[in-house]
Amino acid sequence: MDRLRHAHSIEDLRELARRRLPRGVFDFFDGGAEDEVTLRANRGGFERLRLRPRTLVDVQQPDPSTSILGAPAALPIVIAPTGAIGAGWPQADLAIARVAARAGIPYTLSTTATSSIEDIAREAGGRLWFQLYVLRDKAFTSGLIRRAEGAGYEGLVVTLDLAAGGKRERDLRNRFTVPLRPHWRTLADFARHPGWCWRMLRHGQPVFANLAGFAGAVDPRASIAAKVGQSLDASFGWDDLRALRDAWRGKLLVKGVVRGDDASRLAAMGVDAIWVSNHGGRQLDGAIASIDALPDVASAVRGRVPVLLDSGVRRGVDVVKALALGAQAVAIGRATLYGAAAHGEAGADRAIQILGDELRRAMQLCGTPRIQDIDARLLQGSAHSQEKETDA
């Protein structure tokens, strides 16, 4: 716990997780596809953006509360779906969901989560969205949607960037799979992490809680991305999405969009939000950084529907930059995951605390005490920053 209090950044939580997890597990959380070009570009994109803070603004009480998809949220932050994370800490999904409910922000449960749709609804509460991988097994996919509806989920997040599993070479080299299948080379690694071993032995192997009974033709030795990829409907297209739009009465979000032309067509089709993402650099290596894709998407959508963004958010100031470029909120995958993997619920809590504090501080230092004060004029090089400005 003391270590958690002394974690001052998401990078500190990452380092704690790195020390506490066997390498295979940490690499599964931390890694990206192939050469990890996109993984690095996601950070590079944020780091390249420069801010132009306002002065002489009363910023005594920064207020990061906002509205996400028409409902109040305490922060412009959403929890992104992350599958198989029970391999890091038992019931990590539930831990993060509880933290999100307490923090007043939406939580997205993955299709490949290690807690079930129903357990999360019963034990966490808060604003819940369910992330859907459209499986080739149509009956199973419809069953998942019905379960999310029955459990009262507000949103369905359809992930569109996993037509095939990304080639995550760290997982291949580490022979990482869920369920965990210890290989003689990984056993020594497990043994060096007795705390993690003890937790896994005590709570049992993590399982894909929403996929019980799923008879997808998967090779048990395949990496997780490959397993999911083998079961997905790679033919899923516009007509299928339209049918899904008609079938789901709640909010429909589409995740994994990085092009303005796609975004414009999706907005016209009646989705409720567009979620700019490259899956945290885990799918197409060489894909554009999410933050670099955002301006094109935001301008194509022209305010018709909210735009969310994930991939690479590690600092409160990243949230400011994404909002300045037109996002309504950001989503975070690894930030809370590093925390949960390091110390369960308390670790995820610490991650939100760090990001919330950094965001409030960044809002003060930018002279934008309310979320609606954040706009493109904050950014160096934006069209607005070159105009002659009058008083805000």
Binding site for ligand FMN (CB under 6 A): 29, 42, 80-83, 85, 110-112, 131, 159, 255, 277, 279-280, 282, 310-313, 332-335, 337
Nearest distance from C-beta of residue 57 to ligand FMN, angstroms: 30
Catalytic residue among 183, 193, 203, 279: 279
263 near 274, Cβ under 8 Å? Answer: yes
Instruction: Give the position of tokens 């160096």.
Output: 380
Alpha carbons 126 and 318: distance in angstroms, whole number: 25
- Least distance in angstroms from the C-beta of 304 to ligand FMN: 23
Alpha-carbon distance 223 to 235, whole Å? Answer: 22
CA-nearest of 289, 248, 278 to 129 is: 248
Are 337 and 87 in contact by the 8 Å Cβ rule? The answer is no
Q: Which is nearer to ligand FMN, 59 or 223 (CB)?
A: 223
Q: How far apart are CA 343 and CA 22, in angstroms?
A: 14
| Segment (H or E) for 125 | none
Q: Give all strands (DSSP E) within 112-263, no chain letters.
A: 128-132, 155-159, 251-257
Torsional class of 129: left (φ above 0), alpha (ψ -120 to 50), beta (otherwise): beta
Q: How far is the CB of 334 from ligand FMN (least distance, A)?
A: 3
Measured CA to CA, the distance from residue 338 to residue 351 in angstroms comes to 8
* Catalytic site includes residue 279: yes
Q: Distance of CA 337 to CAs 26, 216, 370, Å?
A: 10, 27, 28
Phi first, then psi: give them for residue 243, nearest 5 degrees: -65, -40
Q: Kindly tell me which of 248 and 369 has the beta carbon lying closer to ligand FMN.
A: 248
CB 145 within 8 A of CB 132: yes
Q: Which residue is nearest to ligand FMN (CB)?
A: 333
State which residue, 283 or 369, has the beta carbon closest to ligand FMN: 283
Nearest to ligand FMN of 59, 252 (CB atom): 252
Residue 300, phi then psi, degrees to nearest 5 = -70, -35
By beta-carbon proximity to ligand FMN, the closer residue of 274 and 337 is 337
Closest distance between ligand FMN and the C-beta of residue 51, in Å? 20
- Using the minimum distance from each CB to ligand FMN, give the nearer residue, 216 or 367: 216
Answer for the pair 259, 299: CB distance below 8 angstroms, yes or no: no
Active site residues: 279
